[in-house]
Amino acid sequence: MTRAVIAGSGSEIPPTRVSNAMLARVMDTSDEWIRERSGVEARHYVERGTGTSDLGVVAARRAIDHAGITPADIDLVVFATMTPDHFFPGAGALLQAKLGLREVPCFDIRQQCVGFLYGLQLADAQIRAGLARTVLLVGAEIHTGFMPWTATNWEYMLGRGDVPPTPEEFAWNTRFRHLTVLFGDAGAAVVVRATEEPRRGVVDSLLHTSGAEYDKLYVPGTGFKHRPYTDPEQFKRGDHIPVMDGRAVFKMATTSMIAASQEVLTRNEVRIDELSLVLMHQANKRINEYCQKALGIPDSKVLHNIERYGNTTAATIPLLWDEAARAGRVTAGDLVLLVAFGAGMNWGATLVRV
């Protein structure tokens, strides 16, 4: 039976590292609050003008090299992002052109923090159906476009300017602090290849969506429900910036990630001690600690990078995978559990045999 195996991975972290203390220059927050409530210590931001497809391209080149293939081998692209370069077309087509791929189909998917798991299931299904042999699956995000601060505030925050925010600007930035401090920019990619080897590849994917809860985390404006879809009034109200009910999301994330993990393990008759590694989406360290404890997973099997990068949405799981692979933590025969929850609301759990 043909299965889909992760054959290589790559990632790209933008150069500008921003600490919690730097964010506190433009809004009412503190290193202590951010660390305690979320686990984030720093995040990386792109420079103005960089697009999500650019981060994806660098990550993809590294994944292609790591897999020992060439761009010409790729016969399908799946690009997961909630922050594409343009409203349309999606970032997949742009990446295809920048990488010089053949005119292969490119799917653009938007399941936010669960984008990678949805993309992996799609890649696996395409491979099992015989429609593709080598899939490039990318997860990348540039959250900085959501940040509400002005160009002058940016310079001050980065230590490149000496004009502090006005009291009005400081208050405006503070309005979104529960959200903005959590996110960072990053890109990551994997090459998924067909294999006929038994006992390898994607073992099982469990995916769920509950659209009924979409308004717990969403962008209220700049959509085609509005006419025109973007206008100065929406910007004045801040409708282009996500709205998040943090406590509700926290609760749903813990419940769903625990339930999905238990379900996928039970239906595949896998015990926790048979897992080599558990890679959880990095939205909040406290969410993951809660899930880890409830599932009884030892620290040695859980990797985290939220302290260094914050929440990188669709990039998070492939980024963790890439870090694990390059640190020698993902080796042939290992059984890895991937778990994520995010806006939509979407969640899922996937079992992969390396």
Which residues are identified as catalytic?
Answer: 113, 281, 311
Query: Closest approach of Cβ 66 to ligand ACO, in Å?
Result: 27
Sites for ligand ACO among residues 213-232 (CB under 6 A): 217
- 177 binds ligand ACO, rule: CB under 6 A: yes
Q: Which of 17, 25, 35, 37 binds ligand ACO (CB under 6 A)?
A: 37
- 175 binds ligand ACO, rule: CB under 6 A: no
- 249 binds ligand ACO, rule: CB under 6 A: yes
- 257 binds ligand ACO, rule: CB under 6 A: no
Amino acid identity of 36?
A: E
State whether the Cα torsion 99-14-344-120 is positive or negative: positive
Q: Which of 78, 106, 113, 138 binds ligand ACO (CB under 6 A)?
A: 113
- 343 binds ligand ACO, rule: CB under 6 A: yes
Query: Closest approach of Cβ 315 to ligand ACO, in Å?
Result: 11
Q: Which of 253, 257, 258, 338 binds ligand ACO (CB under 6 A)?
A: 253
Q: Give the containing element (helix H, strand E) for 179.
A: helix 177-180
| Residue that has been written with the tokens 């081998």 in this structure | 73
Query: Closest approach of Cβ 239 to ligand ACO, in Å?
Result: 17
- 246 binds ligand ACO, rule: CB under 6 A: yes
Coil, strand, or helix at residue 163?
Answer: coil
Calpha distance 218→127 (Å, rounded): 32
Q: How far is CA 41 from CA 38, 285, 310, in A?
A: 9, 11, 8
**303 bridge partner residues:** 279
Other beta carbons less than 10 A from residue 333's beta carbon: 9
| Three-class SS of 224-248 | CCCCCCCCHHHHHHCCCCCEECHHH
**Would you state the structure tokens that stand for residue 46, as one six-digit string?**
């792109």
Q: What is the DSSP letter of 133?
A: S
Q: Which of 9, 14, 18, 29 binds ligand ACO (CB under 6 A)?
A: 29
Q: Which of these, 221, 262, 225, lies nearest to 243 by C-alpha position?
A: 221
- 184 binds ligand ACO, rule: CB under 6 A: no
Q: Which of 2, 16, 25, 33 binds ligand ACO (CB under 6 A)?
A: 33
Cβ-based nearer residue to ligand ACO, 179 or 354: 179
Sites for ligand ACO among residues 277-296 (CB under 6 A): 283-284, 287
Calpha distance 19→98 (Å, rounded): 32
Q: Note whether 8 and 61 are within 8 A (CB).
A: no
Coil, strand, or helix at residue 181?
Answer: coil
Q: Which of 237, 247, 267, 293 binds ligand ACO (CB under 6 A)?
A: 247
**351 bridge partner residues:** 204, 337
Q: Which of 52, 53, 112, 282 binds ligand ACO (CB under 6 A)?
A: 112
* Region label for 329, one of left (φ > 0), alpha (ψ between -120 and 50) or beta (otherwise): alpha
| Residue that has been written with the tokens 């792109």 in this structure | 46
DSSP states along 269-301:
T--GGG-SEEEE--S-HHHHHHHHHHHT--GGG
- 145 binds ligand ACO, rule: CB under 6 A: no
Pattern 290-329, binding to ligand ACO, x per CB under 6 A?
---------------------x-x----------------
Cβ-based nearer residue to ligand ACO, 80 or 336: 80
Query: Closest approach of Cβ 289 to ligand ACO, in Å?
Result: 12
Q: Which stretch binds ligand ACO (CB under 6 A): 3-11, 144-152, 249-257, 325-333?
A: 249-257
User: For binding to ligand ACO (CB under 6 A), which residues are involved?
Assistant: 29, 33-34, 37-38, 112-113, 177-178, 181, 217, 246-247, 249-250, 253, 283-284, 287, 311, 313, 342-343
